[in-house]
Amino acid sequence: MEQDASQFDFSFWPASTSWLVGNCFPNETRPFWYWVKSPAFPIGIIVLFPPENPQGIDPRLTMRRLLGQLHVPVECCFSWTLNGMIFESAAGTNPLLDQPLPPVLPGADPQIYITCEFPHVHQQAPIEQPSHIVMPQVLGRAVPIGMDREATPAEMELLVGIHGEWGSSLHLEADLLRQRKKITDLNGKLKTLNRDLNTDERTYSSSQDKKDWQDARRWLRDCQQKLARCLKDYDIGFTSAAGQRTWFEEAYENFVVPRKPFEGLEQAFRDFQIYHKSLQSLNNSMKGAIQFSMQNGEKRAQRVLNTIQAKVREGNAKKSFLGVITNS
């Protein structure tokens, strides 16, 4: 049963620590994976379809139906990101909500990002965790125990698979480092923009201009907080050295490189896959935060300032002209 929108408050949902399993349709085995409030995307839910049930093969599956299976009222979904494109829900009135989900485009991010919580938006009552959630297994932190024998063909396949996952993860980590620098630079720009109007700007701006500037400064603060969360997720989150990364690195160096089997190899392979997906989520979250902050923070503030500064130039020009007339 879908949650009543008037009783929905995503802020009370507990964050999951890994991928959970949902089902596309009642009484049918059509699974999908989802992650509630991941470190990389704390304001919503990430959805990913497994290879055996790829996205876009069933015309019955729409975004509205997917939200229903997640127990999220469609009116409380603010937007969703699909194939790298952002779509506004418009309080559940966007007709695209009822269109079949398209397949993943080549080279596009396969994950769907559903935004359920947004700056300046607050609901009222708490909601219990949906009853269909399957609690995930927590990744182990203990040092793997090796086996004193050669790897079987099946174990060798898993070791090779881990090697591939880790290699892809390292490429993502390099890109994450670049995104971190961009966030740091952008945060500096937003901090510089977030200032009081100077004397001339206050003199020549209208009351509406001043109101627009106060609103722009609120957006600047929201964007700075969003960027700060991304930096925190990168620096001390699950994918950092303070999180699980050290375990993966040690397991890779000690067992995968020399192709030595160890206890829990199958689970480790799944854990390396989750780590890879977590990096993808964090990377997309950081890129999204940069795009969001540039559009709604930097550019919004610059537009308002440009309007005010044009009035300052016009006012100063008139004052200079009147000064010339008066003195002549």
Query: CA-to-CA distance for 66 and 223, rounded, in angstroms?
Result: 29
Residue 65 confidence (pLDDT): 92
Do residues 48 and 67 lie in contact, with contact meaning Cβ atoms separated by under 8 Å?
no
- Longest Cα–Cα distance of the chain, Å, equals 102
Tokens encoding 179: 């995104």
Residue 120 confidence (pLDDT): 38
Q: What SS3 state is found at 83?
A: coil
What are residue 206's DSSP bridge partners? none
Residue 76 confidence (pLDDT): 87
Do residues 30 and 2 lie in contact, with contact meaning Cβ atoms separated by under 8 Å?
no
Tokens encoding 188: 């500096």
Do residues 165 and 272 lie in contact, with contact meaning Cβ atoms separated by under 8 Å?
yes
pLDDT in tens, 267-308: 888 888 888 888 888 888 888 889 989 999 999 999 999 999
Task: Report which DSSP code applies to 146.
Answer: B
Residue 211 confidence (pLDDT): 94
Helix segments in 252-298, DSSP class H: 265-293
What does DSSP say about strands 41-48 and 31-38: parallel, antiparallel, or unpaired? antiparallel
Query: CA-to-CA distance for 206 and 105, rounded, in angstroms?
Result: 48
Helix segments in the chain, DSSP class H: 63-69, 153-193, 199-204, 207-236, 245-251, 265-293, 299-327
Q: What SS3 state is found at 19?
A: coil
What are residue 22's DSSP bridge partners? 32
Q: Sheet of 20-23: strands edge to edge? A: 20-23, 31-38, 41-48, 112-115, 79-82, 85-88
Q: Which residues contact 216 (CB under 8 A, 6 or more apart)?
A: 300, 301, 304
Whether the predicted model's global pTM rises above the 0.75 cut = no
pLDDT in tens, 58-85: 888 999 999 999 999 988 888 888 887 8
Residue 85 confidence (pLDDT): 81
What are residue 48's DSSP bridge partners? 33
Tokens encoding 288: 């999204």
Query: CA-to-CA distance for 102 and 9, rounded, in angstroms?
Result: 29
Residue 236 confidence (pLDDT): 76
Cα 163 to its chain centre, rounded Å, is 26
Q: Of the candidates 262, 240, 242, 238, which has an alpha carbon nearest to the alpha carbon of residue 252?
A: 262
Residue 51 confidence (pLDDT): 80
Q: Digits of tens for pLDDT over the chain (328 positions)?
A: 445 565 677 878 888 888 888 888 887 788 889 999 887 778 889 998 888 778 878 888 999 999 999 999 988 888 888 887 888 888 888 888 999 998 888 777 788 999 887 433 333 333 333 333 333 333 344 667 888 888 899 999 999 999 999 999 999 999 999 999 999 999 999 999 999 999 999 999 999 999 999 999 999 999 999 898 888 888 877 677 656 788 888 889 999 999 999 988 988 888 888 888 888 888 888 888 899 899 999 999 999 999 999 999 998 887 765 565 555 5
Residue 7 confidence (pLDDT): 64
Query: CA-to-CA distance for 236 and 232, rounded, in angstroms?
Result: 6
Q: What SS3 state is found at 41?
A: strand
Query: CA-to-CA distance for 324 and 317, rounded, in angstroms?
Result: 11
Q: Which residues contact 200 (CB under 8 A, 6 or more apart)?
A: 312, 315, 316
Residue 235 confidence (pLDDT): 83
